[in-house]
Structure 1
């Protein structure tokens, strides 16, 4: 049986204990911030997540920098997880809201 510290969505497998992300069995190197973002998305698949929620969840409510930091890190994540980062299939933009992890 799969342990609770594994979340598998399609070809991706997130191991919370080892803090690793595999795509088709290949490890994807993630920064601490990227891992926290992916973890948040994987815990809320197919759910639109507001930029502010992502910011609070990953950077904490005491972060007073630019909200754009979310977009910058989404772009970096897309470079790592998407086959074609300019046409994202997984990490999609929800206009006027934020982003979601698409499992379809």
Structure 2
């Protein structure tokens, strides 16, 4: 008979978070794990998806969309306060770089598209 336990599921989820998340070294020199969307709590996911809608809506001006990017990174962070402080002192280009790297990490390894 197969058995599932909360502890086993939690351990598996934490391992997957590390594999598909992005580690960011914060302003304080300590690691922050930016977790993939599918590994957020129900409330965090709801907040993150609201920010995704803002980011994707070109009717919003750049500053509003950039703020939504910052907010989604904070939601995904396992150390939210440290992420806020780090983002506050980074230029726009750097914040976009973190967001892009986090999105790429969450997609996991791509299949090879070699044509040779």
Higher relative contact order (CA 8 A, sep 6+): 2
Common fold: TM-score over 0.5: no
TM-score (norm. length: structure 1): 0.39
TM-score, structure 2 normalization: 0.36
Structure with the higher strand share, 1 or 2? 1
Higher helix share: 2
